[in-house]
């Protein structure tokens, strides 16, 4: 079983809709989780981190963590074409982050 799993997509949503990106992980001991956004040809950029069960909101982004289900999600409200990118889920380990393969999001005008 892969440590961090994501659906590769693409996930297509119309402009203004809510985009829901999901991630599951295999290590019950993981304590920290991150969402990175990566535009084509660019480096990953940290957009959210979450450590406790529940929701964490930052502007149009909401991260959700459910440790019992080993599940992390990212909701993007009022999606914009500029949100089109690959979203990488990562979990914190002893001293490194382990990344999923990413989900490509396409927001159509």
Partner 1 sequence: DTAVSQTPKYLVTQMGNDKSIKCEQNLGHDTMYWYKQDSKKFLKIMFSYNNKELIINETVPNRFSPKSPDKAHLNLHINSLELGDSAVYFCASSHTGAVIYGYTFGSGTRLTVV
**Binding interface with partner 1 (CB under 8 A):** 31-32, 34, 36, 38, 42-46, 49, 51, 86, 88, 90, 92-99, 101-102
Q: Encode burial over 75-103: b for 16+ CB neighbours within 10 A, e otherwise.
A: bbeebeeebbbbbbbbbbeeeebbbbebb
**Residue at token pair 């289900």:** 69
Closest to partner 1 by CB, 77 vs 101, is 101
Closest to partner 1 by CB, 51 vs 71, is 51
CB of 23 to partner 1, least distance (A): 14
Handedness of CA 49, 30, 87, 74 (dihedral sign): negative
Closest to partner 1 by CB, 5 vs 17, is 5
SS3 81: helix
CB of 34 to partner 1, least distance (A): 5
């Amino acid at each position: 079983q892969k440590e961090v799993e994501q659906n590769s997509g693409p996930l297509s949503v119309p402009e203004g809709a809510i985009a829901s990106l999901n991630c599951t992980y295999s290590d019950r001991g993981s304590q920290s989780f991150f969402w990175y956004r990566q535009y084509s040809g660019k480096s990953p950029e940290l957009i959210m981190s979450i450590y406790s069960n529940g929701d964490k909101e930052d502007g149009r982004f909401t991260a959700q963590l459910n440790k019992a289900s080993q599940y992390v999600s990212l909701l993007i409200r009022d999606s914009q074409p500029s949100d089109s990118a690959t979203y990488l889920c990562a979990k914190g380990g002893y001293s490194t982050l382990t990344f999923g393969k990413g989900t490509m999001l396409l927001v159509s005008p």
